[in-house]
Chain A
Amino acid sequence: MIKKIFVILTMIGLIMMLSSLVLNFEFVEQLNDLSADYVTGSIEDLKSQNVVTSVIVTYRGLDTLGEVTVLFLATAGIGFLLGKRKGKKRVASELLQTSSSFLVALIILLGVYIFSHGHLTPGGGFQGGVVIANAFLLLILSDASIKFNHTILQLVESLSGAFYVIVGIIGLVLTIGFLNAKIIPLGEFGRLISAGAIPIIYSLIGLKVGSELTNIIDTMRGE
């Protein structure tokens, strides 16, 4: 009884806290100064078509580095806690086996497209990496006895992480700024090779996230 009263009180409190958001809501007709600066700066200064990407990779690059670090720590923790594995095989249906052998390559291609075109179309390193990890998940589901080479996974992960930081430090050495995309020529607006270091950084993040999440899935499955 007292539990229910507490739940109802909490609900009423939440409603009171959030109702001001709804009641005072008004449509924003104009961007504020900071957002307007990001939008024009992304197009004119960085020559990147996707404003979200240029904010994530360059203007808020340090936050992204922190995010990648959090993901790395989570992977390390899961690998440390769930290291052991007992093998027990389960045969997948023929439908799943046939379709996955056809689909895995296409899904990996889609993931690579998403992170290499992060500065042109929606998406980027995190999304592309997760799509690649989902392809490996399909591979695991279709063939339970499959084994991944963990040395290669860890090598890809550590090398891309290290290069990401090195790209950032090159910006410091050239006195442009940490993780600034302008360390190499910007190129033509709207082309695949443009926007300076943004495609490089996002490809590195994509490889890192993909290998990390594949590692997590492979560790978690231990049936």
Chain B
Amino acid sequence: MISVIIVVILGIIMMVAGVVALHLKNLLAAIITAGAISLLASVIYLILGSPDVAMTEASIGSGLTTIIFLYALNKVKKEDKND
């Protein structure tokens, strides 16, 4: 029962974070919010009993994807300046 409550709370936080990420004007903050959503999702997978998926989500979703988005943002900003 307690795990269901934790999952529901985490799910609500994830939804709120998703909406916040859409409305943030600062793209850097939006990327980090999206990474945090992946981290919360990996906690949910762990509680629901699938550590394999939780590992993938934590390392790819919140680690690698965030960094690649940051690199892409960096590139886009630079090209904006050059124009």
Contacts and interface: CB of A to CB of B under 8 A. Distances in A.
A153 interface: no
Contacts of A134: 59, 63-64
B59 A131 contact: yes
A126 B56 contact: yes
Given A220-B72, A221-B71, A133 B55 contact: no
A182 B56 CA distance: 27
B68 A217 contact: yes
A158 to B, nearest CB: 22
Contacts of A213: 64
Interface string A122-155: 1110110011011001000000000000000000
A221 B64 CA distance: 13
Interface in B24-83: 50-52, 54-56, 59-60, 63-64, 67-68, 71-72, 74
Interface centre among B59, B67, B74 (most CB of A within 10 A): B59
Nearest to B56: A127
A173 B64 CA distance: 39
A114 B55 contact: yes
Interface residues of B, number: 15
B59 A130 contact: yes
B64 A133 contact: yes
Contacts of B59: 127, 130-131, 134
Interface residues of A, number: 20
Contacts, number: 42
A220 B71 contact: yes
A185 to B, nearest CB: 26
Interface majority SS (helix, strand, loop, mixed), chain B: helix
A50 to B, nearest CB: 8
A223 B64 contact: no
A124 B55 CA distance: 9
B63 A223 contact: no
A216 interface: yes
B55 A127 contact: yes
B45 to A, nearest CB: 11
B67 A124 contact: no
A52 interface: yes
Given A131-B59, A220-B72, A137 B67 contact: yes
Nearest to B78: A223
Interface string A64-83: 00000000000000000000
A216 B56 CA distance: 18
Nearest to B71: A220
Interface of B: 50-52, 54-56, 59-60, 63-64, 67-68, 71-72, 74
